[in-house]
Amino acid sequence: MENKININDLLLEELEEYIEKIGEKKFHAKQIYKWLHKIGVTSFDEMTDISKSLREKLKASAYILNMDIIEAQVSKKDGTMKFLIKLQDNCAIESVFMRYNHGNTICVSTQVGCKMGCKFCASTKEGFERSLTGSEIEGQIQTVQRYTKERISNIVYMGIGEPLDNYDNVIRSIKLINHPMGLNIGARHISLSTCGLVPNIYKLADENIQCTLSISLHATTDEKRKEIMPIANRYSIKEILDACRYYIKVTGRRISFEYALIYGKNDTYEDAMGLVKLLRGMIAHVNLIPVNEIKEKEYKKATEKSIESFMNTLNSCGIVTTVRRELGSDIDAACGQLRKKYIDKNL
Ligand code: SF4
């Protein structure tokens, strides 16, 4: 693999340049792009409409990204599948496959580990290793489609890692996923979640990609937020909401706010009213998440009753609120849990 290029990481125009550079006609790039991103082949020899000599040339200077599934857990309750996937440098990441009425959805990782340190999250527990390339993000979709033999139509960037901390590769992955000659999944079917890296929210707005932006808010005051999310020491809620207003203005898209309900921490009536005050007048949607309990962490899931009354308070004040369906509750579906187990076992 040394000195060879990862051909899956090239956007179509880059692939065209590369093909010309190796002395071939540009139109082959389109054929190759389709094989890689629409069909999802794992070797050059599967590209049957490409001449043998071109295939040999490709093999000499490029490689196809292959990612292996180390473990697949399937929920007996709802069929949700969680995958532990090995990258070519042996790092492990997670992807979750969920079936919804509106189509199959995958939750992808964007980094190996995470620097953000949110207290309720297992992904941060083993520290940060590296960011994923655009093709490693797209490759999770290819790998899972190959395994399940089912088409994926919605992508959520909500797995391990902070997407906006890996900005350029995340944008590249969206372009790969979006392309009509590839997976052809529209930006409106892509949702990107951030803990609030303010400068990159502005940057994303200016890309005008039209994907849905989700903000992991989880608290209604900066003081409380600082207790559970270290990023709150860098950016205030006000700065995040200003960036969100800009995102809405530029893209016309509604923002989704993620709020993990933690027992006795952020699940009171006062917290709900605090959220109403913050979001009033904004085109927003609140997604309440009953926080998953992680062994090592001190946080407990809010009670059914407090979740319901929190939701009712918001809805009665005109803030559209839903509770995220708990999929895969019998497997290690919470972000980072499966990878953590794997690391513990292999150290
Ligand atoms: S919740 Fe997201 S941003 Fe926070 S530590 Fe976990 S993966 Fe990172």
Q: Among the atoms of ligand 1, which is closest to the Cα of residue 117? A: 5
Q: Are residues 53 and 132 in the same domain?
A: no
Quick one: tokens of 182? 């590839």
Measured from the Cβ of residue 43, the count of other Cβ atoms closer than 10 Å reads 12
Per-residue pLDDT, averaged over 60-79, amounts to 93
- Boundary (domain end) residue, out of 17, 48, 63: 63
pLDDT at 138 over 60: yes
275-303 burial, b at 16+ Cβ within 10 Å, e below that, comes to bbebbeeeebbbbbbbbbebeebebebbe
pLDDT tens per residue across span 231-276: 999 999 999 999 999 999 999 999 999 998 888 889 999 999 999 9
Residues 250 and 290 grouped into a single domain: yes
User: Going by CA atoms, what residue is nearest to atom 4 of ligand 1?
Assistant: 118
pLDDT at 297: 60
Select from 63, 79, 112 the last residue of a domain: 63
Residues 191 and 157: their CA atoms lie apart, in Å, by 6
Is the pLDDT assigned to residue 106 strictly greater than 90? yes
Regarding whether 304 and 195 lie in a shared domain, the answer is yes
Query: pLDDT digits over 323-336, tens only?
Result: 987 666 666 656 66
**What is the pTM assigned to this prediction?**
0.93
Provide mean pLDDT across the span 67-94.
Answer: 93
Kindly state whether residues 169 and 150 are assigned to the same domain: yes
Active site residue 14: no
Work out which ligand 1 atom sits closest to the CA atom of 193.
2
Pick 295 or 142 by higher pLDDT: 142
Are 87 and 112 in contact by the 8 Å Cβ rule? The answer is: yes
Same domain, 185 and 115: yes
Q: Which residues contact 132 (CB under 8 A, 6 or more apart)?
A: 87, 93, 109, 110, 111, 112, 161, 166, 169
* Lowest model confidence (mean pLDDT) among 4-13, 105-114, 250-259, 285-294: 285-294
Residues 88 and 220 occupy one common structural domain: yes
- Under the banding of pLDDT at 50, 70 and 90, the label for residue 146 is very high
Residues 59 and 168 in one domain: no
194 CA from centroid of ligand 1 (Å): 8
pLDDT above 90 for 66: yes
The binding-site residues of ligand 1, defined as CB within 6 angstroms of any ligand atom, are 114, 116-118, 121, 123-124, 160-162, 195, 216, 335
C-alpha distances in Å from residue 27, one per residue of 32, 50, 329: 9, 11, 48
Average pLDDT, the chain: 91
The more confident residue out of 37 and 262 is: 37
Q: Give, for 256, the enclosing helix (H) or strand (E).
A: strand 255-261
- Mean per-residue pLDDT, 209-227: 94
Q: Quick one: pLDDT at residue 77? A: 85
Supply the residue whose CA is at minimum distance from atom 6 of ligand 1. 121
> Which of 63, 90, 110 delimits the end of a domain?
63
Question: Who wins on pLDDT, 102 or 176?
Answer: 176
* 64-68, 90-94, 295-299: the lowest-pLDDT one: 295-299
pLDDT, tens only, 313-325: 999 999 999 998 7
- Give the integer Cα–Cα distance in Å for 217 and 315: 18
Mutate to test the pocket of ligand 1, among 112, 195, 225 (most ligand atoms within 8 A of CB): 195
| Amino acid identity at 227 | E
Q: Say whether 94 is catalytic.
A: yes
Q: Which residues pair with 260 in a beta bridge?
A: 289
In terms of domains, do 109 and 72 share one? yes
Confidence of residue 296 (pLDDT cuts 50, 70, 90): very low
Listed residue (185, 203, 201) closest to 193, CA to CA: 201
State how many domains the chain has. 2
Please indicate, yes or no, whether residues 178 and 50 belong to a single structural domain of this protein: no
Q: What is the CATH number of the domain that holds 28?
A: 1.10.150.530
Catalytic residue among 94, 126, 136, 258: 94
pLDDT in the model for residue 240: 98
Residue nearest to atom 3 of ligand 1 (CA): 162
pLDDT the model gives residue 303? 86
* CATH number for position 268: 3.20.20.70
Q: Are 191 and 149 in contact (CB under 8 A)?
A: no
Is the dihedral angle over the CA atoms 260, 265, 266, 267 positive or is it negative? positive
- How far from the centroid of its chain's Cα atoms is residue 145's Cα? 16
Query: Using 50, 70 and 90 to split pLDDT, how confident is the model at 299?
Result: confident
From ligand 1's centre to the CA of 231, what distance in Å? 10
Residues 195, 211, 244, 335: which is the catalytic one? Answer: 335
Centroid of ligand 1 to alpha carbon of 25 (angstroms) = 44
pLDDT at 22 over 60: yes
Greater model confidence, 302 or 91: 91
Residue 176 and residue 151 share a domain: yes
Query: Closest ligand 1 atom to the C-alpha of 121?
Result: 6
Q: What pLDDT score does 335 carry?
A: 65
Using CA atoms of 285, 310, 159, 155 in order, give the dihedral in degrees to the nearest 10.
-30
- Whether the pLDDT of residue 293 is over 70: the answer is no
Q: What's the whole-number mean pLDDT along residues 85-112?
A: 94
Query: How far apart are the CA of 126 and the centre of ligand 1, in A?
Result: 12
Pair 142, 49 in one domain? no
Range of the domain at 92: 68-346
Spacing, Cα 193 to ligand 1 middle (Å)? 10
| Residues 178 and 284 grouped into a single domain | yes
Mean pLDDT of 10-27: 97
Q: Could you report the per-residue pLDDT of 159-172, keeping only the tens digit for each?
A: 999 999 999 999 99
What pLDDT, on a 0 to 100 scale, did the predictor assign at position 295?
A: 47
